[in-house]
Structure 1
Amino acid sequence: MTDIILSAFPMLLKGLGTTLLLSIAAIIGSTLTGLLAAILRTSQLPVAKQIALLYTELFRGTPVLITLMFIYFGVAYFGYEINLLAAGILGLSIYTGAYIAEIFRAGIEAVPKGQWEVSWILGLSKRQTFFSVILPQTRGIVLPPLVGQYLSLIKDTSIISMIGMSELMHQGQAIVDRIGQPVVIYSLVALFYFIICFPFSYWVQHHQTRSQLS
């Protein structure tokens, strides 16, 4: 048993590194995408609102694997090349961004309308009001569900093994194909995911407990 674990560790650690890189890049990409979509959803421009609504409804209503397949194989269909890492980051960013957009939208709309009016009276522009007054007030509202969505994103990275990317899950499958022992290997894979996700999960629970007590 020990020999199996020791022999599997180098490949799993390599996959873990890829998963972490993919997760961090996709978290940044999805946050920026979601914030932009939320800004459009809450804007006064009808066309922009409809485009953002179509984006969020489309990707929230389809599986993440479809998004990944469409990006990876769709780009090749049009005569362009995209590597697996870029396809994974782009796919997860676009897909998760649709969910994050709704989180940000809810946070923005939860800020009292009077905050806008007071800011305009003080001479702030709409842009200054949004980024200096409104957005900072949404932090406490959106942070717990936002971290929860990040946890889902990290776990969704395992799906990228379906397009052949050598992340943590793919490396686990490769080891099982070579030496067997699926219970041991997949338990190790699950342990690595738990090590990544538990601190975020614990923080969300701790934050929600403090919010209820305050």
Structure 2
Amino acid sequence: MGTLEFTYLLEGLRWTLVLTAVGFAGGIAFGLLVALMRVSKSPWLRIPAIGWIGLFQGTPLLMQLFVVYFGLPLFGFDVPAWAAVAFALTAHASAYLGEIWRGAIQAVPRGQTEAAEALGLPSRSRMVDILLPQAFKLSLPATVGFLVQLLKGTSLAAIVGFIELTRAGVIVANQIYQPLVVFGIVGVMYFLMCWPLSLYGRHLERRMAAGISK
């Protein structure tokens, strides 16, 4: 494989990282909203959040990509492939991160909330100043683990014709007729991105376990 083909793979790698960053950032923003709705006492907020989580956790990411990419044009929205993929990844990530953070918020000891109520803190201050910082720490290992899954999930964007790392690998392999070499390199690229994140996630889990045991 020559320099030109390897450069093409690097361009696909760049788009993989861009899609991951966009999907994860969007997932953080909307996932926090979903989590807050999920723990709300109001059924008007809680039930839609439950439905959102159930929809995107109960259907394959591949199907979600197809629905967004081919479905939006039916309603008059002519979106490019990258925008459709970014939207689908954001929605997918918001459901998973929302559920992760919902669990983390509810895992904060009840005594913390009771103490805040005894001090007369308003509900917004209780959530922002007391519950969310502790929930954030509790959710870090699972959040990092989901980031790894999201990064690998970007490979499904190739199905709708978007040229990220996997799609770039297919194109290069078809040009030089060396699929084993090409996808060996693609696999190494994914490994070098995912393995450090997986190690970091396990490190966070050990630190939290050590802190709890003390």
- What TM-score do you get using the length of structure 2 for normalisation? 0.94
2:155 matches 1:161 = no
Moved more, 142-151 or 71-80: 71-80
2:27 matches 1:30 = yes
Q: 2:200 maps to what in 1?
A: 203
Q: 2:63 maps to what in 1?
A: 66
**Counterpart AA for 1:142:** S
Question: C-alpha distance in 2, partners of 1:207/1:38?
Answer: 22
Q: What are structure 1's unaligned runs of at least 5 residues? A: none
**2:101–2:136 contact (8 Å) kept in structure 1:** no
Q: Secondary structure at the match of 1:143?
A: helix
**CA apart distance, 1:98:** 1.2
**Counterpart AA for 1:79:** G
2:120 matches 1:120 = no
**CA apart distance, 1:139:** 2.1
Q: Which of 11, 15, 21 is the aligned partner of 1:14?
A: 11
**CA apart distance, 1:5:** 5.0
**Counterpart AA for 1:155:** K
- What TM-score do you get using the length of structure 1 for normalisation? 0.94
**1:151–1:201 contact (8 Å) kept in structure 2:** yes
**1:5–1:185 contact (8 Å) kept in structure 2:** no
Name the count of aligned residue pairs.
Answer: 211
**Counterpart AA for 1:47:** W
2:108 matches 1:111 = yes
Q: What are structure 2's unaligned runs of at least 5 residues? A: none
Q: 1:184 maps to what in 2?
A: 181
RMSD: 1.3
2:122 matches 1:140 = no
Alignment of 1:75-86 (within 5 A): 75-86=72-83
Question: C-alpha distance in 2, partners of 1:149/1:28?
Answer: 13
Q: Secondary structure at the match of 2:162?
A: coil
- Report % sequence identity: 36
Q: 1:51 maps to what in 2?
A: 48
